[in-house]
Amino acid sequence: MSTHNVWTHKGTFLLAAVGSAVGLGNLWRFPYLTGENGGGAFILVYALTIFAVGIPILIAETMLGRASRRSPIMGMRFLTRTHQASRAWESIGWLGAASAFLILSFYSVIAGWAIHYTWLMLTGSLVGADAATIGAGFDVLLASPGLLTLYHTLFIIASGLIVGMGIHKGIENGLRIMMPALFVILLVVLAYSIANGDFAAAASFLFTFNLADLSLEGWLQAMGQSFFTLSLGMGAIMAYGAYMASDASLSRTAFAVAFVDTAVAMVAGLAIFSLVFGAGLDAGAGPGLMFVTLPLAFAEMPFGGLIGGVFFILVLGAAISSSISLIEPVAAFLVERFDLTRPQAVFVMVVASWALGLLTVISFNTWAEGSPFHALFGRSAFDFIELLTNIFMPLGGMLIALFAGWALTHSEVMKEMRTGETWFQVWRFLVRFVAPAAVAFVFLRTIPQVEGYLIPTLGALIIVGAFAASRTFLAGNRQEQ
C-alpha cells in the first residue's frame, strides 16, 4: 500500500522538481551541446521543444504521480487497475526505474569529476597553468580508475544519505538549504564572468538564431536535451508528484519548473561562454568544455581559483539535488513492494547503481577502445548506457503522454488540473498528438545512427502502437467522450 506521504508545504514540489531538473544537464551538457551545435539555432529548437513537448509531459507526469499517490511502478499498476487499462502500461514504471538506475550510474561518475576540480581550484593548483597542463590533468584523471571510483563512491554515498533520511528530513531539508545557495552562487559566477569575460560575445553566440547552422544531429540532440534537463519520462517527477499537495496548481508549477530550468541553463551558458570567449578559447570543445576549457579560463583570471572552486561546488550541489531524484522512485518502490525500510531500500538501489557505475569508470581507461566490450557493441560501456537512457527517456515520456492523454477521463484530468476548458483542450492536443509525434520523429531520425538498435527501437514503437490500439484502451477512451 502507499504511504501517502505529502510534502510539508504547497510549494515544496516546485522546489523538489526544480532541484531535480537543474543539474549537470544545465551546467555541463547544455553549454557544451550549444557550443558544438553553433549556438542560437540549437537554443531555439531546444526552447520550442521545452514548451511544446516538455511542459505538457511535465504536467502529465506530475498528474500520474499525484493521481496515484504511489511510486511510479506501483502507481501505474494502480492506475491501470482503476482504469481497466492494459497492464502493459505498467511498463512506464519499469522503464522509469530502469532509466533511473542507469542514469544514476554514470551521473555519479561525472559528478565525481566536479569533486576533483573543486579540490584543484580551491587549492590553487591550476592557477596560471597553460592549456597543455590542464588538458593533460583531465586525461590523467580519466586514466585513473582508482581516483574515478573514489569520487564516484563519495558522490553516491552523499546522495544516498540524503534520500535515506526520508522525504522530509532528508530531501526537503537538503533542498531548502542547497537550492537558494545554488542560485546565489550562480549569480556570483555570472557577475564575475561579466566583469572578467566577454559578455557581448557570449550573448551574441547564444542569441543569434541562424537555423542553417543546425545539423539534423543537432535537432535530435536539442530534443533529447529538453527531456533530460526537465528530468522527464523516467519516474523522478512522477515520484515527487506523488507527494504533491492536492491544491497546488499543476500547470503553473510545470511552467515555473520549465522557466527556472531554462533560465539556469541560459545563465550558465552566458557565464561559461563569457569566460571562454574572454580567454580567447574555443566554444566547441565538447564534454571537456567544463572540465578543460573553463578551468583554463579561470586559471588566467583574478581570483580564478576561488571563483572556480565556488563554481564547481555549484556543479556538485546541482548534481546532488538531481541524483536524489533518481534514487527516490526506485527506493519508494522497494519500500512499497517489499516492505523494506527506507534506508534498506536506498542501500539496495545505491549499491546496485554504484556497481554498474564501475562500467562507466573503466570506459575511460581499462576498457577504452580495443576492449572486448568495444568490439562487441562498437562503443564504450558508458556510451552504451547513455544511449539506452536516450532511448528510454523519450519512450517513457511518450507513453506517459499517451496514457495521460488517452486513458485518463476528462473529469479526472480536470480534477487534477482544475483549469479552463481551453487550456485543457490545448494540453490534451499536445499530449495526444504533438508530444508522441515529436518523440517518434526523434526515434525515426536516430535510427540510421544506431543501426544495431533498429530492431529493438522499431519493436518498441510497435508495442506503443499496440497499446494505443488495444481494446481496453479504446474502452477507456470511449467511456470518456
Name the burial class of residue 372, with classes exposed (0-12), middle (13-18) and buried (19+) by CB atoms within 10 angstroms of its CB.
exposed
Return the range that interacts with ligand PHE (CB under 6 A); candidates 227-235, 285-293, 336-344, 423-431. 227-235
CB of 183: closest distance to ligand PHE in angstroms? Answer: 15
Residue whose C-alpha cell is 528530513: 169
232: which DSSP letter? T
CB of 161: closest distance to ligand PHE in angstroms? Answer: 18
Which residue is nearest to ligand PHE, using beta carbons? 25
Q: Which residues ranging from 287 to 326 are in contact with ligand PHE (CB under 6 A)?
A: 322, 325-326
Per-residue mark of binding to ligand PHE, 97-126 (x: CB under 6 A): ------x-----------------------
Choice from 24, 120, 271, 361 touching ligand PHE (CB under 6 A): 24
Contact status: 46 vs ligand PHE (CB under 6 A): no
| Exposure letters 320-356 (e unless 16+ CB within 10 A, then b) | bbbbbbbbbbbbbbbbbeeebebbebbbebbeebbeb
The contacts of residue 96 (CB under 8 Å, 6+ apart) are 72, 73, 233, 234, 235, 236, 238, 329, 396
Phi, psi of 390 (to 5 degrees): -65, -20
Choice between 238 and 413, CB closer to ligand PHE: 238
Choice between 62 and 229, CB closer to ligand PHE: 229
Element (H, E) at 422: helix 421-429
Closest CA relative to residue 431, chosen from 122, 143, 100, 62: 62
Rounded Cα distance, 266 and 358, in Å: 32
Rounded Cα distance, 138 and 152, in Å: 16
Rounded Cα distance, 182 and 187, in Å: 9
Question: CB–CB of 413/476 below 8 Å?
Answer: no
Choice between 264 and 408, CB closer to ligand PHE: 264
Choice between 304 and 394, CB closer to ligand PHE: 394
Closest CA relative to residue 293, chosen from 301, 283, 306: 283
Question: CB–CB of 227/54 below 8 Å?
Answer: yes
CB of 262: closest distance to ligand PHE in angstroms? Answer: 11
Return the range that interacts with ligand PHE (CB under 6 A); candidates 23-31, 145-153, 190-198, 444-452. 23-31
Return the range that interacts with ligand PHE (CB under 6 A); candidates 40-48, 231-239, 349-357, 375-383. 231-239
CB of 387: closest distance to ligand PHE in angstroms? Answer: 15
Contact status: 93 vs ligand PHE (CB under 6 A): no
Rounded Cα distance, 372 and 378, in Å: 9
Phi, psi of 232 (to 5 degrees): -90, 155
CB of 26: closest distance to ligand PHE in angstroms? Answer: 5
Contact status: 226 vs ligand PHE (CB under 6 A): no
Contact status: 231 vs ligand PHE (CB under 6 A): yes
CB of 232: closest distance to ligand PHE in angstroms? Answer: 7
Contact status: 234 vs ligand PHE (CB under 6 A): yes
Helices (H), 279-371: 293-299, 304-338, 342-363
Contact status: 163 vs ligand PHE (CB under 6 A): no
Closest CA relative to residue 404, chosen from 435, 383, 375: 435
How many residues contact ligand PHE, by CB under 6 A? 15
Choice from 34, 80, 221, 229 touching ligand PHE (CB under 6 A): 229
Contact status: 236 vs ligand PHE (CB under 6 A): yes
CB of 462: closest distance to ligand PHE in angstroms? Answer: 26
Q: Which residues ranging from 3 to 22 are in contact with ligand PHE (CB under 6 A)?
A: 20-21
Choice between 21 and 270, CB closer to ligand PHE: 21
Contact status: 57 vs ligand PHE (CB under 6 A): no
Rounded Cα distance, 278 and 281, in Å: 8
- What is the gyration radius of the CA atoms in the chain, in angstroms? 22
Return the range that interacts with ligand PHE (CB under 6 A); candidates 162-170, 208-216, 228-236, 302-310. 228-236
Q: Residue 128: which region, alpha, beta or left (left: phi > 0; alpha: psi -120 to 50)? A: left
CB of 147: closest distance to ligand PHE in angstroms? Answer: 23
Question: Quick one: cell of 247?
Answer: 491544491
Choice from 13, 15, 19, 26 touching ligand PHE (CB under 6 A): 26
End-to-end CA distance of the chain: 32
Question: Quick one: cell of 84?
Answer: 481497466
Rounded Cα distance, 323 and 178, in Å: 13
Choice between 219 and 228, CB closer to ligand PHE: 228
Choice between 22 and 292, CB closer to ligand PHE: 22
Choice from 7, 19, 25, 268 touching ligand PHE (CB under 6 A): 25
Contact status: 228 vs ligand PHE (CB under 6 A): yes
Binding stretches for ligand PHE (CB under 6 A)? 20-21, 23-26, 103, 228-229, 231, 234, 236, 322, 325-326
